[in-house]
Amino acid sequence: MTSPHKTIVFDLDGTLVDSLPDIIASFQHAFASLGLKAPTDEEVRALIGEPLEDMYARFAPEHVSTLCDLYREHYPRNFVNRSRPNPGVIEVLRTLRGRGYKLAVATTKRTDMARRFVEALGMMPALDHVQGTDGFPHKPAPDVIHRALAALGAEGLWMVGDTLNDMEAGRAAGLRTYAVTWGNQDAETLATSAPDELQPDLGRLLEHLPPLPRV
């Protein structure tokens, strides 16, 4: 019987990609379109990683549906204005695939949006699967991780992310957790989740993942 693929699971926004400025701009654009006062950059930033509906409900619960529609119309036309892969990410992904690992994304974005975003950034060839959150519990629940691994018929090794929700989801899924500090939450905040690794970049991940034996 063939053993499951060894797989590393990554969060997307803030982890693989520096995408916060474009997310914040589109989030605020929806308020401006309705003539409403938009929240500040910091107020939006504090909520990134939650479902879009929950984010808007914090500020304008009576307009959630319309605000989400406006965001989803604006964001895909502007999501690579300033968004770029974080430094060294593409090289790390290529190295891990070359060592025999499968690579999956598990994000709170909807799957269709996440795949369009990854494709627009030219990152799809470096990944094996992109899994969004579509009508099931979002992180910190482990559902999106389980679905990503199931799609690949894979065994998960590490969950790599930039938020407490990522760390909780990874632990709940039975994976080791790797927190990067270049994203949405700082090192002090991430340390409260006691991740297996707390690092400023992905270099240490490569040290944990030597080449797999050829079958």
Mean pLDDT of the chain: 96
Its CATH class, for the domain covering 5-18+85-208, is alpha beta
CATH 1.10.150.240 describes domain 20-78: yes
Asked if residues 83 and 48 have their Cβ atoms less than 8 Å apart, the reply is: no
Confidence at residue 4, expressed as pLDDT on a 0 to 100 scale? 81
State pLDDT tens for residues 55-83.
999 999 999 999 999 999 999 999 999 99
Q: What pTM was computed for the model?
A: 0.94
Name the nearest CA neighbour of 145 among 127, 185, 172.
172
Which residues make Cβ contacts (< 8 Å) with residue 29, sequence separation at least 6?
70, 71, 74
Q: Where are the domains of the chain?
A: 5-18+85-208, 20-78
In three-state secondary structure terms, 78 is helix
Predicted local confidence at residue 28, as pLDDT: 98
The total number of residues written for the chain in this structure: 215
13 is annotated as an active-site residue: yes
pLDDT attached to residue 48: 87
pLDDT tens digits, 100-156: 999 999 999 999 999 999 999 999 999 999 999 999 999 999 999 999 999 999 999
Domain 5-18+85-208 shares a fold with domain 20-78: no
What is residue 14's three-state secondary structure?
Answer: coil
Active site residue 11: yes
pLDDT band of 214, cuts 50, 70, 90: confident
The conformation of residue 142, written as its DSSP 8-state character, comes to: S
Report, as an integer, the average pLDDT of 166-195: 97
Rounded CA-CA distance 127/28 in Å is: 30
Distance CA 64, CA 58 (A): 9
**Token duo for residue 171:** 């632990």
Confidence of residue 3 (pLDDT cuts 50, 70, 90): low
Per-residue confidence (pLDDT) for residue 2, from 0 to 100 = 53
Catalytic residue among 11, 18, 22, 162: 11
Q: What pLDDT shows up at residue 1?
A: 42
pLDDT of residue 177: 98
Contact 75, 117 (CB under 8 A): no
According to DSSP, the residues that pair with 179 across neighbouring strands are: 161, 198
Helix or strand (DSSP H, E) at 32: helix 20-33
